Amino acid sequence: MPTASDLTGDRKLGLTLRAGRAGADRPISWVHASELADPTEFLAGGELLLTTGFGLPDSREGQAAYVGRLAAAGLSGLGFGIELGHDEIPDPLLDAADEAHLPVLEVPHRTPFIEIGKTVSQALADTRSAEAQRFEATRNALTTAAVHGEDLGGLIGRLAAGLGCWAVLLEPDGAAVHAEPAHAVEYVRAFDADLDRLRAVRPPSSIGSSSRDGHVAAHSLGGGHKLAGFLVVGRDRAFTSTDHHITHAASSLLSIALTRTRSAADARLRTTALKLLLTGHRTAFDELAGPLGLRLPDEPVVVLAGSGHSPTLVDGGAASDLLAGDIDGELVAVASASQHLPSARHLGVSPATGLDGLPGAHRQARQALAEAMRRGAAVVRFDDLGVGLLHDVTDTGVLTRAEAMLGPLYDHDTRQRGELVRSLRSWLAHHGHWDPAAVELGVHRHTLRHRMTKVAAILDCDLDSPDVRAQLWLALRLVS
């Protein structure tokens, strides 16, 4: 993530660090502009706040209190635009910022605030992309190690290398099985109380602790009521969300190895392989498919999504014409389009597609299942739905355009915890009528009007146009 120090290194911005150097390496989560004397109720922490100082108190005490509020809110920096309300940043503000370790960046008149926002936004996007690639590479390496028969010590070693940490695998009683490096067994003795807390709850579970000595995360391994052991990892710097995802992936693989027979473990790994296939990770799927003896159904294929009890969908994963599994409580299968449909209480069937179209077909099968459950029908095909007539334009056509159309709204909701996608769906479902849509959402109609204005601005579209409404409705049906 970008920091105040990073921004001062960007010559095109021309920013100067004037105070708070001690906190200049604090990550910036977002950029917000405000001239309020107290903007903290609109901040979540980690932001770089931009201001021209129009609302800044004149007194030394008032400026010190202003900085104190920002520091207490957890801001990562203050960007102060000069040559507008102030020719220079007031000294009392700089003194208070130095004391609070709040970085203050001097923003010259030639640098628009929006350029700073764009720079931070791009840096955050680059960080997310790099973290996603690191997660995929490390997870694939761990999965390959588990599938290709490396002992558990090898998997622990790969995890430690991938996270730059020490890692220890423990028996349920706390005895060390593997450690990387070997002397890391000494570190876990200080965490007996944490392990006892994990023993008191059903595995898998986890607990973390942070102190001046470092950061540690402990995971209980196993499933149901059976504890199979613990994985404990630690290092000097805090673990990121990507690090936690990687550790959870390693814990799942270790749980399979420790608690299941080979056949049961293979069933879990088949489900993992199916997940990889349905999310477009064909290379990772191939890594699992070979050792497990899985064969892909002949193309064209369909995706099936079922509810209720279906032994065929749960146990049919070894069949050459049906790759199936229980994914997060949902019965899912990839089958040859010529395959007879298995029995299930409710079944949604995607249109026929090639293997490259499976991610979109999975979404379509789930939509068809939802409609089957709504109707109480045994089988509903996506082709039978109103949006089904568009499937033959291929996922790289309509589906990709639908995802691109709605992408800015999903991004906004993710970054700012907004409700734009949900609000748009409800408003369109009520044919643009404000009151019933607002009641459904549990908000005032003026709040809904404000959200729709923001949707129109973000998408740069006219929501009064019937064509625009139709396109957005179809996009929501395809993507959601």
Residue 266, pLDDT score: 58
Residue 241, pLDDT score: 86
Higher pLDDT, 237 or 268: 237
Mean pLDDT of the chain: 84
pLDDT confidence bin for 312, thresholds 50/70/90: low
Q: What would be the CATH architecture of the domain defined by 129-259?
A: 2-Layer Sandwich (3.30)
pLDDT beyond 80 at 28:
yes
Instruction: Report d(CA 154, CA 164) in Å as an integer.
Output: 15
Region 172-197: mean pLDDT is 88
Tell me the per-residue pLDDT of 109-138, one tens digit each, with 9 for 90 and over: 999 999 999 999 999 898 888 888 888 878
pLDDT confidence bin for 338, thresholds 50/70/90: confident
Residue 110, pLDDT score: 93
Region 88-92: mean pLDDT is 96
Instruction: Report d(CA 248, CA 277) in Å as an integer.
Output: 20
pLDDT confidence bin for 261, thresholds 50/70/90: very low
pLDDT confidence bin for 318, thresholds 50/70/90: very low
pLDDT beyond 70 at 480:
no
Least confident of 46-50, 99-103, 442-446: 442-446
Tell me the per-residue pLDDT of 160-179, one tens digit each, with 9 for 90 and over: 988 999 999 998 888 898 89
| CATH no., domain 4-111 | 3.40.1390.20
Looking at residue 390, its amino acid is L
pLDDT confidence bin for 297, thresholds 50/70/90: confident
pLDDT beyond 90 at 235:
yes
Region 13-39: mean pLDDT is 94
Tell me the per-residue pLDDT of 217-232, one tens digit each, with 9 for 90 and over: 999 988 766 788 899 9
pLDDT confidence bin for 313, thresholds 50/70/90: low
